Every structure is written in C-alpha cells, then in structure tokens.
Amino acid sequence: QSVLTQPPSASGTPGQRVTISCSGSSSNIGSNYVYWYQQLPGTAPKFLIYRNNQRPSGVPDRFSGSKSGTSASLAISGLRSEDEADYYCAAWDDSPYVVFGGGTKLTVL
Amino acid sequence: EVQLVESGGGLIQPGGSLRLSCAASGFTVSSNYMSWVRQAPGKGLEWVSVIYSGGSTYYADSVKGRFTISRDNSKNTLYLQMNSLRAEDTAVYYCARAPTLEPALDYWGQGTLVTVSS
C-alpha cells in the first residue's frame, strides 16, 4: 500500500482534458512539494513536473500540476495517443524519505 | 549528454548478495543527489536509497541494514550493495539523479533486473 494514493486508472479520448489525483497527508504533500513522473510502457520513468507546478525543459505545456492542502493533481490537456502511460506522484515524507503514489495507468481511448 | 547506465543485476538465491553499479557520464556524481528506485514486476515505484553530495546516506525502512549505497568519485559511479536478499527485493532497480536537494529526479538509467529466487 503506497503512502500517496492515486486512482489505479484514468482514461480519455484524444483532445480531451484529463486529471489524475494524488492524495497524501500533512507529513508529505501537506508540507512539501509534489513531483510527477511519466513512465511509458517498457521504459524508465521520465521527469514531468517539479515543485507542484513547474515543468522541466522539454515538457509540453499540455501537462500541468497543482496542489491544495494534502492533495495534488496532474492535468493533461489536448490528450494525445502518446500520453498513454503510467503516471506517478512523489513527495518527501519526513525528509529525506521519498514516497511515491501507486501509479495511475492512463488509457487514451 | 547526461547518461546513467546500470549493471550488475541477475538471478540470486534468497540470502545472497549482489552489487549494482550505475555508471554516469555528462555530469559529476559527487556533486549531485543520487538515488536508487526500484519497481517490482507489474508494480509501482519504490524509493530505496539516496546519497547526498556531502556523503550522507538514507534508506527506506524495507532495506535499512541490508543495503548500502556508495559512490566512487574516481569512476563517477554509484553503487548499491544488497545483502540478505529476499524474494520481495525482486525488481528492476533504477539509479536516478537529482541536481538539487529535493525528489526532482531528472535523469534515470534504463534499469537492471534483480530476481531473488531459489
């Protein structure tokens, strides 16, 4: 059982906007930044969002993050077939220990 | 170009030991915060350990006392010594870099599979 809770699956059609939630507690999301990673099938995770809502260079602005209290969300707008992947949230929990969400499998219908 | 290449995985019996390596290029391991993250077959990501640029090390409770993270600055390589291996340690092990003191893992290796089985 993961410390951060994510829905196991999400889906959308091309062009749609989808959101993936990540729920934690005061010791992790409530007091620290949230990070998001994308894992395409059969590949290593890729850095997607840092410090709640910042995008690393090269990440399309279709991807956005937000945080409120002990929860965070990843939004993907203009959904594309290549967005089909597993998405993980992460945060410090009583730093320096890192906790991940269980992952959300996004299907593009 | 930043690159991380893991090696050392394989099949090992329960109770055995294995050392994973992560050769880095394009940056200096000792100037960054280097982590190991694992992923059991069909499961999610699990943080394992981190070594700070200053040398401090930290471990997940699940591996504390059994795993040791280290680095060789002359070889620009990160290691994970795994002892007393258990079936539940079976996973793909990734090394990853964070340039700042936060879980912003911006580069990952391709992973190396460790299978603990008799």
DSSP conformation letters of B27-60: S-GGGSEEEEEEE-TTS-EEEEEEE-TTS-EEE-
Check residue A2 and give its pLDDT. 86
B44-75 pLDDT per residue, tens: 999 999 999 999 999 999 999 999 999 999 99
Q: Distance between CA atoms of A90 and A105, rounded to whole angstroms?
A: 16
Q: What pLDDT tens digit does each residue of chain A (109 aa) get?
A: 889 999 999 999 999 999 999 999 999 999 999 999 999 999 999 999 999 999 999 999 999 999 999 999 999 999 999 999 999 999 999 878 899 999 999 999 9
Check residue A80 and give its pLDDT. 97
Record: contact B108-A99, CB cut-off 8 A: no
Whether chain B has a CB inside 8 Å of the CB on A46: the answer is: yes
Of A91, A101, A103, the CB nearest to B103: A91
Whether chain B has a CB inside 8 Å of the CB on A7: the answer is: no
pLDDT band at B35 (very low <50, low <70, confident <90, very high): very high
DSSP bridge pairs for B36: B49, B95
Whether chain B has a CB inside 8 Å of the CB on A106: the answer is: no
Of A44, A98, A101, the CB nearest to B94: A44
Where b means 16+ CB within 10 Å and e means fewer, B52-81 reads ebeeeebbbeebeeebbbebeeeebbbbbe
- Euclidean distance between the first and final Cα of chain B, in Å? 40
B22-33 pLDDT per residue, tens: 999 999 999 999
Q: Which DSSP string do the residues of A29-65 spell out, in sequence order?
A: TTTS-EEEEEE-TTS--EEEEBTTTBPPTT--TTEEE
What sign does the CA torsion over A3, A8, A14, A18 have?
Answer: negative
Q: How far is B72 from chain A (nearest CA, A)?
A: 22
**Three-state DSSP class for residue B61:** coil
- Rounded (5°) CA angle A4-A85-B115: 75
Q: Phi and psi (nearest 5°) for A83?
A: -85, -5
Which residue is it, tokens 């995770």?
A: A45
Record: contact B45-A88, CB cut-off 8 A: yes
Whether chain B has a CB inside 8 Å of the CB on A94: the answer is: no
Asked whether A70 and A93 are in contact (CB, 8 A), the reply is: no
Residue A57: Cβ-neighbour burial (10 angstroms; 0-12, 13-18, 19+): exposed
Which of A33, A54, A86, A98 is the best substitution to test chain B (most B C-beta atoms within 10 A)?
A98
Check residue A96 and give its pLDDT. 81
State the average pLDDT over residues B2-24: 98
Q: CB A100: neighbour CB atoms within 10 A?
A: 24
Q: Which residue type sits at A108?
A: V
